[in-house]
Structure 1
């Protein structure tokens, strides 16, 4: 005898799905709360912020829908895509990477955020540890900082010699041309913020216990050496802006606009098309009279304190 189940009716099911969707959007809203002292805002500010946030999310969700189409195209046509994100500390690189990958398959679109090289890696060819993270066919790799560390932090902080610095500039154009000739689409973004904006974002991290982990001694030292980083950035852009892999500068003082502008631009760099998929049909669940679900011991249940 087949067991019957108390399946919800169609209307109830749609309501549940709608509630789940709203809950997922609420999680995204939590990511957007930059000022923790929301209760301190007056009603006029709240109304204005709500309208701006609604407009931002409407466009973000639309662009993320296009990113899903891009992902399908990359996987279907076996493309190889590398996207570099560079910029000063607190420029917003991590935020845009999070929004790009938020709704994508991590097996197709993955992030490479390499730590400082270990003793063994320091003896390797400089590009070797980065090359290990390059994509295979049907993959996108987003580098949260990249081999351009040598032209930035390593140069400013004295972690490389003058000879190593010059060798980097001799090698990187040829390295990137090789990547492009191999079939990799290479896109490079520099996130640009002002002196005052970085100052404010660092203060925000200092006073926000949820963000203090983002501040390292290296970040604080980079703040002191703003002008040295500026000079290093200008030299880097001048010497590595090549036709095969040009630099694109994102104006990033406004975080939300920077995310939307970057994603929109990225979508325009690739000739993706929507990949048709056959309709998905949920198979009927098999039911057997001799099936009996075993109870879970009470000692294993997580306490329901909420």
Structure 2
């Protein structure tokens, strides 16, 4: 069994985009995201990005790559916990609406209202009647979003069963990743076909002209991050804002004129 796992890991490494090429392209895309961010703020644009996919598909890594060089006040990530009893009594999408973008914001949903068509349906947290109602209403709800001026982008990250299993096993054995493995991941693991069927029905009902689904292959984490970021840049119209004058640091005042009072600072131990 160990030999098979080692071979699978070796094959994955061989197919992965080289790190040097990945980091160079990611740096270029980060520069473009900063340009897009400035344009979104200046124009008061509203952008909503939804990420869905199976457990281990790489949603978190894509979102991290998308946001690590932008302002968290403008690029906001929303990952809602299990609904409270009060939220369960509300209109289903109500708790998501409160997080929608205002002018000058990009809101990223790490899982979204589509929980109802996926995990809630497969794991029996809602009735089939509730699912069918959701599938019927969602295109209309999203049309209202788009007509209000929101740019809505919906991404499904597609990962194969072998790669998903490898990633989930990695979460079990890598102490840095155990927090990523939830009891729900374990329960969901044996329901591959159920999730596939739920995904297909979700696509059929909610892939609309005004809010289409975009599928990104995520077998290679590096490639999918680059592909999704580039696609977002292509979908959000922006222009580079050039400063009228080059930014220069002003002259620093004379150093040493102020003397700090004697104080026993608590410096941390320098172990490295």
TM-score (structure 1 length as normaliser): 0.81
Pick from 46, 63, 70: which aligns with 1:80? Answer: 46
Distance in 1, Cα, partners of 2:114 & 2:28: 32
Question: Equivalents in 2 of 1:247, 1:180: separation in Å?
Answer: 14
Cα offset, 1:296, TM superposition: 3.3
Q: Which residue of 1 aligns with 2:249?
A: 282
Which residue of 1 is the match for residue 91 of structure 2? Answer: 125
Which of 67, 85, 90 is equivalent to 1:101?
A: 67
Select the structure of larger CA radius of gyration: 1
Matches within 5 A, 1:133-282: 133-277=99-243, 278-282=245-249
Higher relative contact order (CA 8 A, sep 6+): 2
Against the structure 1 CA distance between its residues 177 and 289, is the aligned structure 2 distance closer, same or farther, given a 3 Å change threshold? same
User: Retained in 2: the 8 A contact 1:76–1:275?
Assistant: no
Q: Does 1:296 align with 2:263?
A: yes
Residue in 2 that maps onto 1:60: 26
Give the match for residue 92 of structure 1: 58
Cα offset for 1:285? 3.5
CA offset digits 1:239-278 (Å, max 9, x no partner): 0000111000001111111111111111111111101124
Change (3 A) 1:51 1:238: closer
1:12-70 CA-partner distances (Å, limit 9, x unpaired):
xxxxxxxxxxxxxxxxxxxxxxxxx9xxxx9xxx9x89992111111111111111111
What's the secondary structure of 2:18's corresponding residue? helix
Contact 2:17–2:222, Cα closer than 8 Å, also in 1: no
Q: Cα distance, 1:283 vs. partner? A: 2.8
Task: Please provide the CA RMSD for this pair.
Answer: 2.2
